[in-house]
Amino acid sequence: MDGHRRLESTDRPPAVGVLFNYHSAVVIANTLKKLSPKMRIELVSSGLDLSENDKRKLDSLEILFTQPNLVQSLKLHLLPNLKWMHCLIAGVDLIVETLKSEKSISSFPVTRNASYFDLQMAEYVIGIILSRERRIADVHENQRNQIWDQEVFRKFRPLTDISIGICGFGSIGKEIARVAKTFGIKVYALVRNLPTEAEQSPTVDEYKSIGELGDLLSSSEYLVSILPCTPSTNGFYDGDVLSMCRRKKTVFINIGRGNAVSESTVIRALNEGWIGHAVLDVFDKEPLPAESPLWSHPGVTITPHISGTHMIPERFVKVALDNYNRFLRGESLLNIVDVNKGY
Amino acid sequence: MIRCVQTEIIKRLFGGKSVNRSTTLKMLSVDPSSSVGASMRKEEGTRPLVGILATFVGSPLEREIADAVQKTRPDIRFEVFVRGKPTISEKEMEDLKSCEILIADPNIIMDHNLANNLPNLKWMHCLWAGVDRFTRSFSPSGPFPSYLLTRNGDFFCIQMAEYVFGYIIDKERHITEMKKLKEQSLWKRLPYRTLSELTLGIVGFGDIGKEIARVAKAFQMNVWALVKSFPKDGEQGPHVDEYRLSSDLPELLAASDYVVSILPSVPSTDGFFDGDILSHCSPKLTTFMNIGRGNVVKDETIIAALDRGWIGGAVLDVFSVEPLPEDSPLWTHPKVIVTPHIAGLCISGSKIAGDFVQNYDRFVKGETLPYTVDWDKGY
């Protein structure tokens, strides 16, 4: 869907509004200015309280770079002059719901920073795996006690001996597969539609369709879920699904969204011995409330939604900048959010 | 003659031709390109006497290797199995000395003074990648043993890379710290760097170094390699951004967020990082990693470099003395990670068997063997 209105010919290109959490917004604006000196940038104050001045600015904007949670709360999608909105965040589920419920989706494209955090997330996943397989925590413990125990650590499992099942095979999943293959890990990918031979990636050993989820679960030492938050992924792993991990006591890693599995499912799966461990970076409620039983469960590792949150300014604005140039030239934009798909 | 049950069964199955043990050993030069195997070919109808001298606590590795070989190649017969620890009996000693081919743990060879005491040996294949204890026991000008020495290569490489990146990512992404935060039920986001923003300096650019470079590139790191000579045009690897010579070590150190030493232990690498050289690390507070050998840097040098703010941390898998003595200050320094020589130690009998079988076929054809140790070089 490429329904952007043509730009009215004007003497100068439209201003770009930057509405983002404040400290990052300044960095982003400065980076954009540095890389594209002719760009006119309107820094709109962030936060949910907009001054009258801010509102006037927003009303006049044709282009807005922003983040999903602000779209909904500020009703940015209703801005009268908006011709293009770019989300500087990959996870756009909040926007999708808003845009679907309002009929304004056809009036302008919404694009997003898809590829930016992929490699960081792959780093995180491999880091978690290596930390476990090489028992780094135990090594530190031995050092604290000044114990030299070579024999215990000699018997590590090389990554060439393990398999990873990747659920959610978009750009992040593909990056994880690539990095996993670098270490010789066997890769299973869960996909909606099995690719043709020509479409298959050399970094995937076996593609599995949703119906073959059980196969994938029972074959993987590690399961990584990068499923986006959509109605079809709600409770994806709930019920008895994870019992299929029993064979290898799979380690379950969730870096997608918290809706895919409930707390009680995780705890049950651990207590029943279905999964060997759970590494959770995302939750239904974030920050994870102090009273959540996940904090004290020894089979759980908690990371505070940091698998992919590091911003390197020049790289961070790259898609936005590319799209800005395309927009001005009337070319099709990259990474358009498909509200029907949800991402 | 000690025979294991396995060998007996195999002998019975395959007609039990005994190997001609009275072969006069020709004294051969150690030029790796000489066709040592050719002398074996001349003895038609006989097969070389193969033995294994190995130990691996927790599993009888020597059996594992022999089984794995024999599964695919019943023609390669292991006649001698010696556990190597705790002792080697006189009979076992005799058997070892009768071997023409030996798969061995070089440390056990050293422990029992066998390096120059294997008169029939034509080829020794070592279980490990590091053979320095062995090679450094000879005077630099020789005389060297007359047999070929090969060592393990391939599968250690990726394991060493696992170790290196395991510790780099653990540090950069605060994996250990997040465990502590969880214990306190603390949701705290720590800022981090991605590997793609960092430079890795690799000192010692053999197969392990190249593998580490390959993996570093998968993470889009910037890679510098210290080499003995610049690669010719067209021979530059795809995974290295900058090559430097030893004389440029200061520049490499200053550019690197992480430096990994995989230098072998040879006289020219003794104290390679001692003195003030690590002061060049101060711009980036480089983290110094050593997975090669402990001779390249003294414990005191590391401590001083940390305390002076030259390096930001040290991850050490190898030391001048191993096990690391109790009184070494490295144990307790807050910025030092001590690991007990475990970067690449996962042993798989079937992998060793695979390597050995490939080498064996080359050996009997008189071809060059990969990972042949150059006595002059020491590795």
For residues B74 and B132, the model is more confident at B74
B117: distance to nearest CA of chain A, Å? 29
Confidence at B21, pLDDT banded by 50, 70, 90: very low
pLDDT at residue B10 is higher than 60? no
Distances (CA, A) of A115 to A89, A91, A172, B43, B184: 10, 11, 7, 64, 34
pLDDT at B224 over 90: yes
Whole-number Å distance between alpha carbons of B79 and A70? 76
- Kindly report, residue by residue over B266-294, the tens digit of the pLDDT: 899 999 999 999 999 999 999 999 999 99
Interface of A with B in 99-158 (CB under 8 A): 119-120, 123-124, 126-128, 130-131, 133-134, 136-137, 139-140, 142-143, 146, 148-151, 153-158
Compare CB distances from B196 to A119, A151, A295 and report the shortest one's residue: A119
ipTM above 0.90, yes or no: no
Residues A309, A332: Cα–Cα separation, whole Å: 27
pTM of the model: 0.76
Q: In the Cβ-directed half-sphere of B28, how many Cα atoms lie within 13 Å?
A: 23
Is A305 a catalytic site residue? yes
- Please answer yes or no on whether B169 and A127 come within 8 Å at the CB atom: yes
Q: What's the confidence (pLDDT) of residue B44?
A: 40
Tens-place pLDDT, residues A246-304: 999 999 999 999 999 999 999 999 999 999 999 999 999 999 999 999 999 999 999 99
Calculate how close chain B gets to A330, using CA atoms only, in Å: 33
Question: Is the Cβ pair B197, A312 closer than 8 Å?
Answer: yes
With CA atoms as reference, the chain A residue closest to B164 would be A130
| pLDDT score at A44 | 87
Give the amino acid at B171. Answer: K
Chain B: give the shortest CA distance to residue A187, in Å.
16
Closest CB to B187 among A137, A157, A287: A287
pLDDT tops 70 at residue B58: no
Amino acid, res. B83: R
Nearest to A134 among B158, B163, B187 (CB): B163
User: Backbone phi, then psi, for B294, in 5-degree steps?
Assistant: -75, -10
Residue A331 annotated among the catalytic residues of the structure: no
The DSSP result for A182-250, as a single string, is: HTT-EEEEEESSPPPGGG--TT-SEEEEGGGHHHHHHH-SEEEE-----GGGTTTTTTTGGGGGTTTTP
- A-chain residues within 8 Å CB-CB of B337? 139-140, 143
Contacts of A142 in chain B (CB under 8 A): 340
Binning pLDDT at 50, 70 and 90, where does residue B19 land? very low
Helix (H), strand (E) counts: chain A: 12, 12
What's the whole-number mean pLDDT along residues B347-363? 82
Residues in chain A with CB shorter than 8 Å from the CB of B187 are: 286-288, 302, 304
Please say if A286 is a catalytic residue.
Answer: yes
Task: Pinpoint the alpha helices (H) of chain B.
Answer: 5-13, 36-41, 61-72, 90-98, 106-111, 132-135, 154-172, 175-183, 207-218, 249-255, 299-307, 349-365
Other Cβ atoms less than 10 A from the Cβ of B282: the count is: 16
Residues of B in contact with A284 (CB under 8 A): none
Question: Nearest CA of chain B to the CA of A161: how many Å?
Answer: 11
Which has the minimum average pLDDT: A146-155, A254-263, B13-22, B146-155?
Answer: B13-22
CB atoms within 10 A of CB B117: 13
Q: How many CB pairs under 8 A join A and B?
A: 139
Q: Which residue of A has its CA nearest to B317?
A: A150
> Rounded CA gap, B136 and B264, in Å?
11
Q: What residue of A is the nearest CA neighbor of B166?
A: A130
Look up tokens 């004290």; give the residue: A296
Residues of chain A with pLDDT under 70: 1-11, 22, 46-48, 102-106, 114-115, 342
Across chain B, what does the average pLDDT equal?
Answer: 83
Report d(CA A190, CA A175) in Å as an integer: 14
Are the C-beta atoms of B192 and B174 separated by less than 8 Å?
A: yes
Q: Which of A286, A310, A315, A331 is catalytic?
A: A286
